Amino acid sequence: MTSRDTILQRLRGELSNYPPVGEPEPVEVWPRENPSAEEMAERFAKELAEVHGELLRCASIEDAQRQLAELAAGARWTALGAMDRPMVRQAAADLTAEMVQWAKADWPPRRIAELSASVIEADGLLADTGSCLIACPSAEDRLLCYLPPACVVIARADQLAEHLPAAWPSIAPRAADPNLGGEFLIVTGPSRTADIEKLLILGVHGPKRLVVILLG
């Protein structure tokens, strides 16, 4: 028997004098408080404002159509790149065909960057951080979130979740589906960066402006 074997045998003998260690108690990193829908909406609005995002609440799709049209007119947007999704189609119904350009697979990044703004649809909202979950199955969907100088997210109040673990059951099936490509993006306000002197600059790595139109 080598000296190593002797040491290990002594250690095993000593350890055998202690009771076995059971399974550790699970620790919930994000405990659920189950807030009401309105409490989550208020938390989302507060957190979004903290990261320089904007929230427009709408009681109906007609109100959302009016808000988006007024937003585009006020910002003097001339070309909106839009995800071809149901809520975006509905919200953009009052805009002219010349203004709205529906994203296509053959769009080069430069074309997307030259748009005035993008209009995208959320697949979920996180109240605790004011974040939007965006499913991007294609490259043009993903680039619409990054390249235009402004980004408008259309979402419903019933998509609000307390935090990411609470939202996971609704997004996990899509994330696990091998027939659906792409990825989920978590968008939290406009792009922000700061230098060593802590000078905050918006819009360096993505949109300078983020507006969430919340239905309901």
Position 212 confidence tier, pLDDT thresholds 50, 70, 90: very high
Q: Which residue has the tokens 């953009």?
A: 92
151 compared with 11, residue with greater pLDDT: 151
Position 204 confidence tier, pLDDT thresholds 50, 70, 90: low
Question: Residue 14 has what pLDDT?
Answer: 81
Question: Residue 172 has what pLDDT?
Answer: 86
114's CB contacts (< 8 A; 6+ apart) are 79
Return the DSSP state at 20.
Answer: P
Question: Considering only 17-21, 64-68, 72-76, 138-142, which range has the smallest mean pLDDT?
Answer: 17-21
Position 203 confidence tier, pLDDT thresholds 50, 70, 90: low
User: pLDDT per residue over 35-61, tens digit each?
Assistant: 999 999 999 999 999 999 999 999 999
Kindly tell me if the per-residue pLDDT of 109 is higher than 90: yes
User: pLDDT per residue over 137-183, tens digit each?
Assistant: 899 999 999 999 999 999 999 999 999 999 998 888 888 888 877 78
Question: Residue 43 has what pLDDT?
Answer: 96
Please provide the average confidence, as pLDDT, over all residues in the chain: 89
CATH number of 35-215: 3.40.50.10420
* CA 110 to chain CA mean position, Å: 23
> How many other C-beta atoms can be found within 10 angstroms of the C-beta atom of residue 73?
11
Position 197 confidence tier, pLDDT thresholds 50, 70, 90: low
The pTM is what? 0.82
Question: Residue 179 has what pLDDT?
Answer: 80
User: pLDDT per residue over 77-89, tens digit each?
Assistant: 999 999 999 999 9
Kindly tell me if the per-residue pLDDT of 76 is higher than 80: yes
CA distance 112 to 143: 7
Kindly tell me if the per-residue pLDDT of 26 is higher than 70: no
Question: Residue 200 has what pLDDT?
Answer: 67
Question: Considering only 30-34, 58-62, 87-91, 96-100, which range has the smallest mean pLDDT?
Answer: 30-34
CB crowding 175-195: b at 16 or more within 10 Å, else e: eeeeeeeeeebebbbbbbeee
- Ordered by start, the domain boundaries in the chain are 35-215
Q: Which residues pair with 36 in a beta bridge?
A: none
